[in-house]
Amino acid sequence: MLQSLSIKQFAIIDTLDVQFSDGLTVLSGETGAGKSIIIDAIGQLIGMRASSEFVRHGEKKAIIEGIFDIDDAKDAIRQLESLGIDINEDFLIVKREIFRSGKSICRINNQTVTLQDLRQVMQALLDIHGQHETQSLLKQKYHVELLDRYADSEYTKELQQYAQSYQQHQEKIKELEALESADQALLQRLDLMKFQYDELKEAHLKEGEIEQLETDIKRIQNSENLSLALNAAYLTLTDEHAITDRLYTLSTELHNVNQILPETFEKLKEEVDQFYYTLEDAKHQIYEEINQTEFDEHYLNELESRMNLLNNLKRKYGKDISDLMTYQEKIADEINKIENYEESTSKLREEIQQLSQQVQEDGQKLSKARRIVARQLRDRIVNEIQYLQMKDANLEISFKPYETPQKDGLEHIEFLISPNKGEPLKSLNKIASGGELSRIMLALKSIFVRARGQTAILFDEVDSGVSGQAAQKMAEKMKDIAAVIQVICISHLPQVASMSDHHLYISKHEKDDRTTTTVRELTGDARIDEIARMISGATVTELTRQNAKEMIEQNQKHKG
C-alpha cells in the first residue's frame, strides 16, 4: 500500500506531502484544485510516460517520491529480487525526477532502474484506474485480455501452445510469400550470389587464420632483429660461462651439502634443479626457433597477398572470418532454394498445411478452456452489476469464429450487454452509457482485485455519470474492495465520500502571485461541511449539513 507521497515542483504543486492509510481514502475538492494532478504524480511512480509539461513553470525539475508497504506484495517482491534490488525492510522508496527536457530518472531504494523495470515492479504493486481504462471496455481486444487475466493460470499451457504454433505458421507463410513474390528478382540475384559464394569458397576460409598470418608476417619482417636476439639468448645458455652449467655445478654442491646436513637444503636443491630443467627446455626451444628464422621474401609476398585477400573479403562481406563463413553458408542455402524453387515452395506449402492443422487443433483446445472460464466470469460480472443497481441487466461473453486464425485465437471474444429487460444483447459501445460503463468496470475491478496480488488501487472519478441509489451501491462496492486492499479514490459523490475511512480535501490558493495546491484531512464538522457541499453543489444549508451527517453515520455502519 501507499504510505506517503512527496511532490515537489509538479504542475501547479509547489511542495506537497500526503500521508495515506489503509482502507478507503477519498480525495475531494473543487474542480481544478489539483485532485487529478496528485493521481498523475502517483502515475509517474508506476512508470507512466513523463512530460516536460509536468515540471512547474520556472523550475528545472519535478520530484515525486513515494513510500510503499510491500509486506504482502509477493509479485512485486519477486520482481525486485530479479532486478537485484535490496529489500532491507517491508517498505519500498520509489523516486522519480522529471527534467525540463522531458527526460526522467527512476530510482527504487536509491538504485537507478530503467522505466521498464519501474513499470514491472510498480504495476505489480499498484493499479490506477481512470476514464481511459473505462473507455477501453469499448474495445473488443480488451475483452480477450480480461478473460485471460481472470483465468490466471487455468489455461496457460493452451495459450502458450497456440501462440507458438500460430507464430510458426505466420513465419512460414511470410517465407513462402517472399519466395513467390521475389521469384524473378531472386533469379536475377542468383548470378551475384553464385559469384559471392565461389569467391568465398575459393578462399578456403579457416577460423583464426588472420591472427596466424599477422604473427607469421611479423616474424619474417623482423627476421634480422629476431635472429640476433635468438642467437644472443642461445649464446647465454651455451658459451663457456653458460648459466645452465653453473646451475648444474650449484646443484651438485647442494647435493654434497645435503650429505652432511640431511634435508637442510633439499627444497632449495629441488628449486635449483627445476630452474635448470626450465633453462634446458628454453635452450632447445630457442635453437629450434633459430633454425626456422630466416628472411624469405617469396614466402612473405605469399603471406601478404593472402592477408590482402582476406581483408578485401572482410570489407565486402563481414567483420571477421567467422562472419564470412556464416555468410557463405547463408548464401549457399539461398542458392539452393532458388535453384530448387519448385521443391522449396512445395515443401513450404506442405509445412504450412501441417502448421495450419496444428493451429486449428491448438486453437480449439484454447477455445474450449476459455469457454469454461468465460461462464464463470460471466456469472460473477452479472452478480456484481446487478448489485450496482443494474438489476435487470444481462451480460454474455460471445464467441464467434474469425474467418482466419488471429493472434489471440480462433474466435472473436466480446462482452455483450442488455442493460434492461427485454432488450437484445449488443456491443458495449452501442448500448452502454457512461454510468453503465463505470459500474461494469467497478464490477470487474472487484472481481480481479483478489487475483492480481496488488496492494493498492486508485480510482480517478470511476463514479462518473452515476447518481442516486447506484452511487450508494458503488460506494459500498468500493468499501468492499477496501477491505481487501488499499483504495484511494477521487470522487464527486457524497455517497462515496461519506463511506470513506479517510477524507482528504484538495484546494488551491495563491501565494506570491503563484497558484499552489494543498491537502488536509477532514474530520468532524469540516467533513460534514464538505459532504454537504457535495450534496448541494452550491450553498451549504443546515438541511444539507443534517443530510450529510446522517449519510456519514449510516455509511460508516457498512463494514466492507
DSSP string, 155-202: THHHHHHHHHHHHHHHHHHHHHHHHHHTHHHHHHHHHHHHHHHHHHHH
pLDDT at 467: 80
Q: Which portions of the chain are predicted below pLDDT 50?
A: none
Question: Using an 8 Å Cβ cutoff, are 130 and 460 in contact?
Answer: yes
In this structure, what are the phi and psi dihedrals at residue 128, rounded to the nearest 5 degrees? -110, 125
Using CB atoms within 10 Å of the CB of residue 49, give its burial: 0 to 12 exposed, 13 to 18 middle, 19+ buried: exposed
Q: What is the number of other CB atoms lying within 10 angstroms of the CB of residue 283?
A: 18
B/e letters for 489-515, b = 16+ CB within 10 Å, e = fewer, are bbbbbbbbbbbbbbbbbbebeeeeeee
Taking CA atoms, 84 is separated from 45, 122, 444, 496, in Å, by 19, 15, 34, 41
Residue ranges covered by each domain of the chain: 1-133+453-522, 201-318, 524-559
What are 305-347's pLDDT values in tens digits? 888 888 888 888 877 888 888 888 888 888 887 777 778 788 8
Q: Cα separation of 465 and 352, whole Å?
A: 51
pLDDT at 42: 92
Please name the residues in contact with 266: beta carbons below 8 A apart, sequence gap of 6 or more: 258
Q: Are strands 456-460 and 126-129 parallel, antiparallel or unpaired?
A: parallel
C-alpha cell at 103: 527526460
pLDDT at 293: 59
Question: Using an 8 Å Cβ cutoff, are 364 and 177 in contact?
Answer: no
Taking CA atoms, 126 is separated from 138, 248, 317, 459, in Å, by 23, 80, 51, 11
Tell the CATH superfamily of the 1-133+453-522 domain. Answer: P-loop containing nucleotide triphosphate hydrolases (3.40.50.300)
Going by the DSSP 8-state scheme, the letter that residue 557 receives in this structure is: T
CA angle 19, 20, 23 (to 5 degrees): 160
Q: Are strands 24-28 and 502-511 parallel, antiparallel or unpaired?
A: parallel
| Rg, C-alpha atoms of the chain | 39
Going by the DSSP 8-state scheme, the letter that residue 420 receives in this structure is: S
C-alpha cell at 361: 487443433
Q: What is the number of other CB atoms lying within 10 angstroms of the CB of residue 340?
A: 12
| Segment 290-293 long-range contacts (CB within 8 Å, at least 24 positions apart) | 290/227, 290/230, 290/231, 290/234, 293/219, 293/223, 293/226, 293/227, 293/230
B/e letters for 341-372, b = 16+ CB within 10 Å, e = fewer, are eeebbeebeebbeebbebbeebbebbbebbee
pLDDT at 133: 67
pTM for the structure as a whole: 0.64
B/e letters for 82-106, b = 16+ CB within 10 Å, e = fewer, are eeebeeeeeebebbbbbbeeeebeb
Beta bridge pairs of residue 413: 399
In three-state secondary structure terms, 397 is strand
Q: Are strands 91-99 and 61-69 parallel, antiparallel or unpaired?
A: antiparallel
Q: Cα separation of 387 and 536, whole Å?
A: 26
Taking CA atoms, 360 is separated from 158, 165, 416, in Å, by 12, 9, 26
In this structure, what are the phi and psi dihedrals at residue 534, rounded to the nearest 5 degrees? -65, -35
What are 147-185's pLDDT values in tens digits? 998 898 899 999 999 999 999 999 999 988 887 776 666
Amino acid at the residue 253: E
* Helix (H), strand (E) counts: the chain: 20, 15
Question: Using an 8 Å Cβ cutoff, are 449 and 126 in contact?
Answer: no
